Structure 1
Amino acid sequence: MEAIADRVIGLLGSLAFKELDILCNFQDDLESMNSMVSAIKAVLRDAEAKDMKDNLINDWLVKLKDVLLDAEDLLDAYSADELAREVMTKGKRAKGVRIFFSKSNRIVCAAKIGHEIRAIRKKLDGIFNEKNNLHLSKISSTASIESHDCRETYSFVREEDVVGRDEERKHLVSTLLDLDVKTNVSVVPIVGIGGLGKTTLAQQVYNDEAIKKHFELMKWVCVSDESSEFNNKKVAQNIIGHEIGGDVEKVTEALRDKIEGKLFLLVLDDFWNEDREKWLKLESLLRGGKKGSMIIVTTRSKIVAQIMGTFVPLYLDDLDFKNSWELFHRMAFKDGKEPDNQELVGIGRDIVRKCAGVPLAIRTIGSLLFTKKMGVSEWSYFRDNDLASIDSDDKNKIYSILKLSYDHLPSHLKNCFAFCSLFPKDYVIERTTLVQLWMAEGFIQPLDKHRCMEDVGDEYFKSYCQGACFKM
């Protein structure tokens, strides 16, 4: 929404509309409209943060968006007409072109658009007046956000980057290396709510040197299918490593050939299917591995653990405060070092307690605060306002915390972030393609006309990766 408001303000201030003002004397309407949009923009962050809890604010935002989009369409249309006039009349001598783009004809066209602007301005008047009754606060714009170098991510997790799961890691490694197992393939379930670090723990074990030396074949498959349409053929193709055409028989034959007689480790990450019959069919395809082969399954469902597990499930608990604080200051403070400012440290500890030991929540909020100026007032405001609205006992608090991270994204990144929801879950998005799609949607707005849009889009992507959380 803030990005739309920015575009409207930019169009209102363009040279084309200064010319419209001269032709049709709509100066007061344009200035009034510009002032209203700017004033509304100042409270948009607060409104968008509260819209899920206040129906009046939600209705106000819906009406505002409709009017801003109407304004943007109208101003864009006039801008396009002016550009066409410049292109068509430059160096032209044709009488028809001169007549069509004559000053008198342009005055008639501009007058029509001017009347439409006046109608939109009146709608904005009403929305502007409603704003005063919604008790919205001005929240600092993206200009107050300090830029930091983007932290690079990797396809694996280093041991030193994981906090508080050492005992669980040792237990899993010991289980996977057990030489006394009686079955050809055994299943070790890791169970816990979203955000506890099931995937991170599995990655840590998967990259353990002893594990790599022990198993002949290792494969990581992200399942992530919450629907009832669990597809054994698709999972089998992922294990094989590429898609195979043909019927299920051809795929299953290729899977058996791949694992036959080999000591393998398979990770099925984010498993949802609770249909035991479908699991037994998949399991039967995996029995051809060498005795001692292992499957790690990460899941939020206890039922999945019961129908799949050979070993007792490993239930992940919340991090204790010591480990929670260590993870937080790694994410929130420069170079991961606790600052000397004890007041800031005290606020940080209060924030960590609110995260209730959920690693994803801690990482998300820590990363968010890392992008803000290291000031007590900003952190106090976040603790006492944004975070205070989240119930620590709510089992879905992680989603509220992730919503906070979205609310605090710069306006130009919100559209980019929301656009990615169009892709299927776990879809691998190619950066160049994504930037081009953002450009096509008009999400990338270079402040410097000399800068290449692709370069700006690349910076958007880096900032997006720094602030976004992709995996639960």
Structure 2
Amino acid sequence: MAEHAVLHVLNRIAASSEASWVASSAANSKKGAKAITFEYNIATAELGSMAEAAVFHVLNKIAASLAGTISDELVKEVSALLAVKNSMKQIKSEFAVMRAFVSQVNAYDSRNETLAAWLEQVKKVAFEVEDIIDEYTYLVGKKRQQLLEFPEASVSSFEKHRRMHGIADQLKQVETRLERLTKMRHRYGISVRETASNSTALRQRRAFDIPHLSNEDEIVGNDEETKRLIEWLTDGREARAVISISGMGGLGKTTLANSIFKNPTVKRHFNWSVWISVSQSYRVEDLLRRILTHNTGKNEEILNGIDTMDRIELAEKVQIYLREKRYLIVLDDVWSRDPWSSLDHAFVRNNFRSRVIITTRTEDVASLADENRRLRLSTLPKEEAWDLFCKKAFSKLAEKCCPEDLKDWAEKIVDKCQGLPLAVVAIGSLLSYRRQQEQEWKSFYDQLSWQLTNNPELNWVASVLNLSFDNLPSYLKNCFLYCGLFPEDYLIKRKWLIRLWTAEGFIEERGPETTMEEVADGYVKELVHRSMLQVVERNDFGRAKTLQIHDLVREITLTTSRKEKFGIVCNGPGATVLREQARRVSVHKTD
């Protein structure tokens, strides 16, 4: 997450504005700490300097100072303002280079402890800059308001004169620290690897490509979806058709596609089929080579020269190879539209009733499907989720039914899963090996958040769900982490969320023709299209009115927030002492 922290600082440096109502939200706190109170008494406070996500938050606050919005008369009197502006420009340049470097960090660098330690220092400096700029914005905004109300007042009476010089000194120290970080990177030879080779990437991601339900007898629900998919695959439509299966991570898209792929009726209908796991780490050339090497044996005519062919040559070869086939191709776990232009060209339109299935978490990719050939999965109804849970948790019992003394806690656990098949199966399978005692199941429920991220038998669930967060662009990560600070099952009002994001400085400026509200509204739409937020209610114009985040996704998001010092949640009347450092504290008052 260091990349979006640095991006956050750059945006704030590049597009800071006086944003008087934003500045005023900081007026009652020290060092730019903010407090926002609403129905559930959620407050945000800056409690530490080791958080990472606030760099993006700094961007908009610094920008105004670089845009020359300060009174010329004030600048003449308070020379420290010039020093502050010059320092901001230097810091902006340093962070721009750092962000370019950090953006190259990938999952395969996670074992590099030296790099990790260096990135921690980058994050610390980023948040130190945020604190300084928060104070600067507050001081300038307050003084500007005084000049508007009392234009005849002497500038020399500016009571914050000394503090402005202090800010200038602090920024100079930040410049020095950034220079030292750059020298440190060279001194210790800190670097990032090239993107991992495709074979390595595929090996490391293979666990996520395996369908989570292997036996058809265990598949619960999706009967209508299965029937519809088989109809789409085997109807008499001669033209090649593209079908998409979409939804949030863990809904069983891969499982459903796999059951269809192995269905005897479907297998008889096509004379050639292949399953391709795309995932986030892919090269189009390798995808095309996998198609050519599938079921071709040692056919030299097909395989000759493919290792040295470029993308266009490989696409043409695939087109020739598929020309006389009624083929079925499954592209599993597609994250972007980028590879489609080459693949679309390769998948020949041969009028042999060929079909392509795409599974994805994003609506942008799902829209590649033909008209009326999009299938969006939803969570299981409570009854079906319960049935699936019992099949897994009580698989050793003859009737696979829940004992009466465990029913209350079992129902609470299933409710927590909110119909997410991945979680229901994983948790049910784990509990099938636990003693069937009420106290043990109660203890498991109470520790469910910890279990998800720390139990080796469950943390892969968190990894699967976290893939969506990891794939977010930098400007959305802070916004999504912020959503996790709302209470469980809370209905988040879109307009309110937009105002809170703006007040936090999460929204980047995108030119004079676009308002901050329009940019923020685009952020909401993008998170919905990525299946990160669910729309609960729409207004008369079809726009999202209230939103919600899945309980388990929220739990995992809170773990990330704590780890990154972005924010923590305090629940209940007993939460009177903060035992963790964080930039924000969300206090949930339910009485």
Q: Tell me the TM-score normalized by structure 1.
A: 0.47
Q: Tell me the TM-score normalized by structure 2.
A: 0.38
Q: Which has the higher contact order (CA 8 A, sep 6+)?
A: 2
Task: Choose between structure 1 and 2: higher helix proportion.
Answer: 1
